[in-house]
Amino acid sequence: MPLKRARWLLGLLLLLCMAGAGYYFLVSARTPAGQPPLTSLHRSGFDGFEQVFDDAANRIRVVVMLSPS
């Protein structure tokens, strides 16, 4: 009986993990109202980012850089 229950719980855990991963990858990200959308920085688009960053000199600015490696 305990082995059957363990398999059932493991299956439920796997199902929940798959549902969470599906939600993470399939639901589009949204930014709050009034905030510009998130952007990916590339060499070609860095000038636009730099301009927006410099224009907001009187406000708090946060830059987060994430690397896949």
* pLDDT for res 16: 96
Place of tokens 């059932």: 8
Give the chain's end-to-end CA distance (angstroms, integer): 44
- Prediction pTM value: 0.44
**How many domains does the chain contain in total?**
1
* pLDDT for res 12: 96
Structural domain contains residue 66: no
* pLDDT for res 69: 65
Structural domain contains residue 65: no
Domain that holds residue 49: 2-55
From first to last of its 69 residues, what are the pLDDT tens digits of the chain? 688 899 999 999 999 999 999 888 888 777 888 887 777 777 777 888 888 889 988 999 888 877 776
Which residues, other chains included, contact 31 with Cβ-Cβ below 8 Å and sequence gap of 6+?
Answer: 37, 38
Neighbours of 49 (CB within 10 A): 14
